[in-house]
Amino acid sequence: MAASWPTSMRPILTVTVNPALDVSTSIDEVTNDQKLRCGPTRLDPGGGGVNVARVVQRLGGQALAVYAVGGPTGEAYRQLIEAERVPAVAVPIAGSTRESFTVDESSTDKQYRFVLQGPELSEAEWRACLAAVEEAIPAAGYVVASGSLPPGVPHDFYARVASLARARDARCLVDASGPALAEALAEGVFLVKPSRRELAEHMGAPLDSEQSQVEAASALVAQGSAEFVALSLGAAGAVLASSTGILRLPVPRVRVRSTVGAGDSFVGAFVLRMAQGHEPDSAFRSAVAAGTATTMTPGTELCHRDDVERLEAELAALADRTAQSV
């Protein structure tokens, strides 16, 4: 791979086979056996890869989103994507795009998240998604495969995406869990971003100490499963393992309103900064900043660019102070 990067941005493609029309609202109190009259409704085109593309766009970049879509919810979904002017390739499917429902309970600050399974894809449909990805993969660019796989899609779908990316010398980032994550790791990817729970499930160990977390992430790098393992730890920040060692970051102090989309924002900022030619440590700070900035917004709303830039600067100042004190 070339040692120096061009000044222009490398292209980014994101893949979403199970997008969700995110419906979010708020209510004073959630109770059973009576009508719950909710506040205003917000609709967002959600789902891993599409959210990543939206975050890239919010931060001033651009990513092409390939996504499967169908039915009346799919039509609404498509319109929302168009309204946000996210460049996209919609692959039609017979089933209806799922909805996800998030309710913020204002009296307690609790959040209820109902995530539906999604429509079943036929073999012809998931192969059409893969063909759309193959056609659009940017040579020497970045490919982000993110989110759950709906029924009908084989567990090795992201591994297949990773293999197509490799054939074009593109770097593949995968945010998945369970068998989809395992298959992608077996194929070998540029980066995976498991949460603690996802990595613990994969390793078959609780990973409840910092040492065990670092060891697990480093083991995947040592095995050649991923060049980078970004282990995100919610309010405890994140760990980045690579062949050059381990980086750890705490989260900046903010008022947390909703963590929906934090993981996607993390991946979106990381891939954008890498595509812009930043070093991995700088991309990692942006990722933590964007994840945390997304927690400052209510419901399914993603991060705001000014919050991300302020938190990036805070984390960079922290890194400078730490460097001076050692």
Ligand X SMILES: Nc1ncnc2c1ncn2[C@@H]1O[C@H](COP(=O)(O)OP(=O)(O)OP(=O)(O)O)[C@@H](O)[C@H]1O
The number of CA neighbours under 13 Å toward the Cβ of 287 is 33
Q: How far is the CB of 175 from Mg ion (least distance, A)?
A: 6
Tokens of 220: 């995947």
If you ran DSSP here, which 8-state letter would residue 87 be given? Answer: -
Closer residue to Mg ion in complex, CB, 132/144: 144
One residue of 263, 280, 291, 299 binding Mg ion per CB under 5 A: 263
By CB under 6 A, what part of segment 124-153 binds ligand X? none
- Any bridge partners for residue 171, and if so which? 142
259 touches ligand X by CB under 6 A: yes
Site string for ligand X, 156-195 (x = CB under 6 A): ---------------------------------------x
Query: Looking at beta carbons, which pairs linking 305-314 to residues 24 or more positions away fall under 8 Å?
Result: 305/58, 305/59, 305/60, 308/59, 308/269, 311/252, 311/254, 312/285, 312/286, 314/252, 314/289
Footprint of ligand X on 218-257 (CB under 6 A): 232-235, 237-238, 251, 256
The answer to whether 192 touches 175, Cβ cutoff 8 Å, is yes
Residue 208 dihedral angles phi and psi, to the nearest 5°: -95, 0
150 binds Mg ion (CB under 5 A): no
Supply the minimum distance, in Å, between the C-beta of residue 113 and ligand X: 9
Q: Which is nearer to ligand X, 121 or 176 (CB)?
A: 176
104/264 with CB nearer Mg ion: 264
**How far is 138 from 183, CA to CA, in rounded Å?**
23
- Active site residues per annotation: 264
Q: Which residues bind Mg ion (CB under 5 A)?
A: 263
Judged by the rule CB under 6 A, the positions of this chain that interact with ligand X are 195, 232-235, 237-238, 251, 256, 259, 261-264, 266, 288, 291-292, 295
